[in-house]
Structure 1
Amino acid sequence: MLELLVKYARDHDLKAEPGFKPKPVRWFIVCDKEGRFLDVAELGDTEAKKNPGQPFQKCPDLSQPELVSGSEMRSHFLVDTAEVVALLGKGSEDPKVQEKHRYFVKLLREAGRSMPELATAAHLLEDEQFLLKIRERLQAGKAKPTDKVTLKVGDCVLVESDAWHDWWREFRRGLSSARTTKKSRGSKGESAHLMRCFASGEMVEPVATHPKITGLADVGGQASGSALIGFDKDAFRSYHLSQSANAAVSEGVANAYRAAIDDLLRKHSQRLAGAKVIHWFKKHVPPEDDPLAWLEVGEEEQERSAQQRAEDLLESLRTGKRVDLLGNYFYAMTLSGSGGRVMVRDWMEGQFERLLESIHQWFSDLEIVNWSGSKAAKTPGLEKVITSLLPPQKPQQRYDDWVKPIGAERLALWHAATRWDTPIPYSVLSRLVVLDTKFRVSGTFEDALKNHEKDPKSFAILASLLHARMGLMKAYHLRKERMKGGKEMPQDLKPYLNEDHPSPAYHCGRLMAVLADVQRAALGDVGAGVVQRYYAAASATPALVLGRLTRTSQFHLNKLEPGLAHWFETIIAGIWGRIKDTIPRTLTLEEQSLFALGYYQQMARIKAGKTDSK
């Protein structure tokens, strides 16, 4: 894994030199060549709701040990937070922040011997009147104390210049020498020794602590970064080795894998219910041909069906039209944070063609008719499919707390989407059945349907949720049958209604849908109707409910026009003909899901028929 990450960094020419890393900067503090304050300027996408700022590829960077070693309070050089650079927020009152600010200015002044503009910037930040104006302008722009800030002198963007690079390298060597001297004094003269690098296989002097991964703060990590490799507790260590000597890599390799993960998190990652999946390929794959990207947005945000795109690309591979993709491999890591640590939840690698087949199969298994019966629903992204296993997020509920109960299902569905022969767990179906029953009984969808012209956005969200749940129920049964080597289920369980389905449970669901529509046709909106009152009982114990509801429907049929009544009677008789004398007394959980699918697909058929008749 480390070797592949290091190779990615080298193949993509990432700046992995120790002491440097890419950083996003939100604000420029701008002064003239004499050091007089002019203004502040916001960088990045200023219209975005969450503007991360503009990335700069080679910013100076100190590791955590470099920041905390020594007797003085240290800050980063040239790029740091608005709190440190301008004493924004409570920084003007906090002695520790003030000490960091003085260190920031001190570095600028020392580096000014190599680049005069840095000394000019130091002069600006030493002036209390200028600092006050800087804070006022940052506050007016609604800057946060944690926003990253750097300086611009005249037309010179200091962080983009390489004039200070040699000074910075020498400065870090001085820090390293001081730490090494202190360490050797505390280790009774024990000298550093070479070890075999885990990633390169070469003999190297292992770096004591590894650089931190940023970009996981929204999935449990720290804003300052989290360590992928770290041994800060005695229980984590072996053979009397200290710190990261327990997994020896050189400083260059550590910076390379950090640069690779940071780059992948920015460019090739997708959020997955409290985790992030990063992926890359052995050989270049054009963005439009990246099947893992299709999983992120599904088909709802694509003009062209992802399933069709997968079919076309597979055909191109098999006919030799896309030789550039032959023999390619993919790699994927599922990451989350746990405070200061990176948690690797999953690692996956395999052939590109097999991945393409799997994702094509995923979309095929999920395919389901839309609620109106007019066409196949567009498959939602994997994140939406996974979160369909949850009740609605409560107001003020943190996202991490909301998705926490489905950690195991998240990983299982990720595997199911990327490996065609992976079953969907029973726990997924269990959650789906319970949630769908509550959804039906609550009448939420019917209420939203009545008001969909007034609030189309809310209705679209509910419709997408319904499609995700129904598609996932269907996929569960298809995968289970496929694992057993059966061939009947794919023929029986289709995206649209199947009047010849062999399961009585499926037809019980169909019957419930028709009886509910009979009541609506006869009585209109009567508040709590057949579905709200009897769906839960009918889906669990159909023999106790459906016979009585069928008899009651005769009163409703008598209120309809003869032609419409005859049409309903024909459908009801046909469904009872399928059930015959085998109406189940109770339904298992799997049968309840078939009941739900029968109900849904029959309702879609009814709605499509009404649309056609208008």
Structure 2
Amino acid sequence: MILQSLVHLYDELSRQGKVAKEGWGIAKVSHRLVLDDEGNLIGIVSARKTVLRGKKEKEVPADMIVPLPATRSSGVKANFLCDNSSYLLGVDDKGKPGRTKECFEAARALHHQILDGCHSAEARAILNYFDHWNVDKAREHPLIQGNLEDILAGANFLIQVGRRDATDIPDIRKAWEDYFKSGGEEGNEETGQCLITGKKDEPIASLHPKIKGVLGAQSSGANLVSFNAPAFCSYGYDGEQGKNAPVSEEAANAYGTALNFLLADRTHVKVLGDTTVVYWSEHAEEAYQDGFLGMMGDDGGLTDKELDDVLTHVKEGEPADISGITVNPDEPFYILGLAPNAARISVRFFLRNTFGDVMKHMEAHEERMRIVHPSWEKNRIPLWRVLKTTANPHSRDSASSPLLAGSLLKSVFMDGKYPEAVFQNILRRIFSDHDEPAGGGKPAVYKVSYVKAAMVKAYLLKNCGTKWEGKIQMAVNENCNDISYVLGRLFSVLENIQQSANPGINSTIKDRYFNSACATPASVFPVLWKLANAHLGKLDQPKAVYFKKKLGMLMDKIAMPDRGTPLPHRLTLDEQGAFVLGYYQETQARYAGKKEDK
């Protein structure tokens, strides 16, 4: 399903002229090798482009459409017109002169095979270059000496004849396309039925294209489809590489080109944890990607008003407008999560749904996450912030668990239950973290933060809805009598009493008693009430009366049993989450009240 969807995307991109057609690909080219009409090397010219990285300008290789590069493993295999210095110049720093010469000879043979029947002057110049270039004395050439550092850097070079790139010359282009369609020098001896297109007697790809741009994977590219051990091979196909999954060369090139195109567009790629998320619509319209990116917490070129307008229309099943483009809520939409795995790529998840359903599922998640918050915080919480709260803020690598990221994303996009591990990790962080002010280039840390409380609320509503639906709201629910929620509110009031009696105190009851009060309230709250009585004695009469009324109101919500303590000895995990919410919402109400009084 993944490969079929990418092949369909390639067809759409090709129709729109966004990717190279069959037989052509994109390569990063740093220099041009300039030949004269006789095939003599007369220049090595930079093809780099200047880009802005941060606040500095930097020169990087340019992306150019070239004859489709070969998929190399460890053998010698030349590319046509565009390749590295080993193949086009016979110069490198690998310390294997015999192999370097073999690479150049392979390139010479390939260019003769393709251009021998081409009668253009430029084709003859290219063949003359390969026939007369002396590999043994190549390093002595003045142009090589003047560009040796760049040449040895392993960059790609493109052949230019006179003032024209060889790839722009019609006769040479036709010669390459005829060669490619014929199956190349190996003649595509292995044919079969393609698993993706269903076509029969198609040349089967033995090696699949390299995928570049997945965070953590090899920069030179990694494989989405490959076989390197008997355990991965089909019965009877040990060591047969592509025969294990017969995909035609045409289809392999198509899915590789489409996926590399998506990954190269960094404005429409999200990295969450170790998962690189790419997404696209059936008809390759960027407006759908912009809408999805806005829901992920990035503006994507959309204002809050525009995003709200899109959601309003989508919920009604009506077309919406994004940047002047009409988006259809019934448009099929794909989301692919990729993660690195040695020289290969792992698929974390692959989801297909309509654009409208995906947006509604993400909005439902946002609705569950909505909770009262400080004025400087935004209403929408990006998923990367949720994942970040599950990691230790003091660790050198503050990334969340890779598997956790994939499972959380899948649950949000499909409107499924949240992974229990997310809830458990957030509770663990609440119990482990302490309030720390910002400083030394590090952000502030809050024991019970806005993001943590919002995710706890979302989890309880989605995973434990039958118990907590109606009890948990955006702000304090004065009508909720669940004891775990009430105890959380009560703890916040007790903390407020202590801070009022001892202004500027460094360590509050939250630092010493929060964790035990949340887990085993019966053993802690008697101590807290005793401390509160001492603190109330230090307050002036109006404040003391206010706090006593507040405590009395909350105590009235706790049912008194016939015998034993009214407080539970232990709270379950979801009850601990309700305790956290009660504490957070009561604290936020206190701050909001102070702001209103001021």
Q: Give the superposition deviation at 1:162.
A: 5.7
User: Cα gap change, 1:550/1:299 in structure 2, threshold over 3 Å: closer, same or farther?
Assistant: farther
Aligned with 2:498: secondary structure?
helix
What CA distance in whole angstroms lies between the structure 2 residues aligned with 1:300 and 1:546? 49
What CA distance in whole angstroms lies between the structure 1 residues aligned with 2:531 and 2:90? 75
Q: Give the superposition deviation at 1:394.
A: 3.0
Q: 1:255 aligns with which of 249, 253, 269?
A: 253
Q: 1:418 aligns with which of 413, 416, 420?
A: 413
Amino acid corresponding to residue 240 of structure 1 in structure 2: G
Is 1:236 aligned to residue 205 of structure 2? no
Q: Deviations over 1:179-215 (max 9, x none)?
A: 76xxxxxxxxxxx565322112221234241332322
1:388 alignment counterpart: 389
Amino acid corresponding to residue 594 of structure 2 in structure 1: K
1:12 alignment counterpart: 13
Query: In terms of mean alpha carbon deviation, does 224-233 or 109-118 score higher?
Result: 109-118
How do 1:555-570 residues align onto structure 2 when only pairs under 5 Å count?
A: 555-570=534-549
Q: Give the superposition deviation at 1:307.
A: 7.2
Q: Give the superposition deviation at 1:325.
A: 0.6
CA contact (8 A) 1:424 1:476 kept: yes
Aligned with 1:55: secondary structure?
strand
What CA distance in whole angstroms lies between the structure 1 residues aligned with 2:98 and 2:380? 52
CA contact (8 A) 1:355 1:419 kept: yes
2:429 alignment counterpart: 435
What CA distance in whole angstroms lies between the structure 2 residues aligned with 1:300 and 1:367? 21
Q: 2:93 aligns with which of 68, 91, 94?
A: 91
CA contact (8 A) 1:207 1:251 kept: yes
Q: 1:546 aligns with which of 513, 525, 537?
A: 525
Q: Deviations over 1:550-598 (max 9, x none)?
A: 2212333333343333333333332223235443221111111111111
2:292 alignment counterpart: 292
User: Cα gap change, 1:117/1:95 in structure 2, threshold over 3 Å: closer, same or farther?
Assistant: closer
CA contact (8 A) 2:211 2:224 kept: no
Aligned with 1:336: secondary structure?
strand
CA contact (8 A) 1:211 1:227 kept: yes
User: Cα gap change, 1:558/1:149 in structure 2, threshold over 3 Å: closer, same or farther?
Assistant: farther
Is 1:596 aligned to residue 580 of structure 2? yes
Q: Give the superposition deviation at 1:366.
A: 1.5
How do 1:30-49 residues align onto structure 2 when only pairs under 5 Å count?
A: 35=41, 40=46, 42-48=48-54
User: Cα gap change, 1:263/1:578 in structure 2, threshold over 3 Å: closer, same or farther?
Assistant: same
Q: 2:348 aligns with which of 336, 345, 348?
A: 345
Identify the structure with the greater helix proportion. Answer: 1
Aligned with 1:349: secondary structure?
strand
Q: Give the superposition deviation at 1:425.
A: 2.3
Aligned with 1:64: secondary structure?
coil
Amino acid corresponding to residue 332 of structure 1 in structure 2: I
User: Cα gap change, 1:465/1:179 in structure 2, threshold over 3 Å: closer, same or farther?
Assistant: farther
What CA distance in whole angstroms lies between the structure 1 residues aligned with 2:236 and 2:470? 62
Identify the structure with the greater strand proportion. Answer: 2
Q: 1:134 aligns with which of 140, 143, 147?
A: 147
What CA distance in whole angstroms lies between the structure 1 residues aligned with 2:65 and 2:297? 28
CA contact (8 A) 1:206 1:244 kept: no
Indicate the RMSD between aligned Cα atoms, in angstroms.
4.1
Aligned with 1:578: secondary structure?
coil
TM-score by length of 2: 0.80
What CA distance in whole angstroms lies between the structure 2 residues aligned with 1:78 and 1:304? 49
Aligned pairs, how many? 566
User: Cα gap change, 1:352/1:303 in structure 2, threshold over 3 Å: closer, same or farther?
Assistant: closer
What CA distance in whole angstroms lies between the structure 2 residues aligned with 1:533 and 1:82? 66
Amino acid corresponding to residue 261 of structure 1 in structure 2: L
What CA distance in whole angstroms lies between the structure 2 residues aligned with 1:610 and 1:548? 28
Query: In terms of mean alpha carbon deviation, does 354-363 or 14-23 score higher?
Result: 14-23
1:279 alignment counterpart: 279
The gaps in structure 1 that reach 5 residues or longer are: 181-191
Q: Give the superposition deviation at 1:74.
A: 4.7
Is 1:468 aligned to residue 476 of structure 2? no
Q: 2:25 aligns with which of 8, 21, 24?
A: 21
User: Cα gap change, 1:571/1:443 in structure 2, threshold over 3 Å: closer, same or farther?
Assistant: same
Q: Give the superposition deviation at 1:23.
A: 2.5
TM-score by length of 1: 0.78
User: Cα gap change, 1:391/1:17 in structure 2, threshold over 3 Å: closer, same or farther?
Assistant: same
Aligned with 2:195: secondary structure?
coil
CA contact (8 A) 1:87 1:97 kept: no
Amino acid corresponding to residue 173 of structure 2 in structure 1: H
Aligned with 2:545: secondary structure?
helix
CA contact (8 A) 1:30 1:41 kept: no
1:199 alignment counterpart: 196
2:443 alignment counterpart: 458
1:587 alignment counterpart: 571
What CA distance in whole angstroms lies between the structure 1 residues aligned with 2:45 and 2:588? 60
Aligned with 1:45: secondary structure?
strand
Q: Give the superposition deviation at 1:104.
A: 9.1
Aligned with 2:317: secondary structure?
helix
Amino acid corresponding to residue 386 of structure 2 in structure 1: V
Q: Give the superposition deviation at 1:9.
A: 0.7
Amino acid corresponding to residue 201 of structure 1 in structure 2: G
Q: Deviations over 1:217-258 (max 9, x none)?
A: 524x33332333333433433353433223222211111111
Is 1:356 aligned to residue 341 of structure 2? no
Q: Give the superposition deviation at 1:47.
A: 2.9
CA contact (8 A) 1:537 1:545 kept: yes
Amino acid corresponding to residue 583 of structure 2 in structure 1: Y
The gaps in structure 2 that reach 5 residues or longer are: 116-120, 561-565
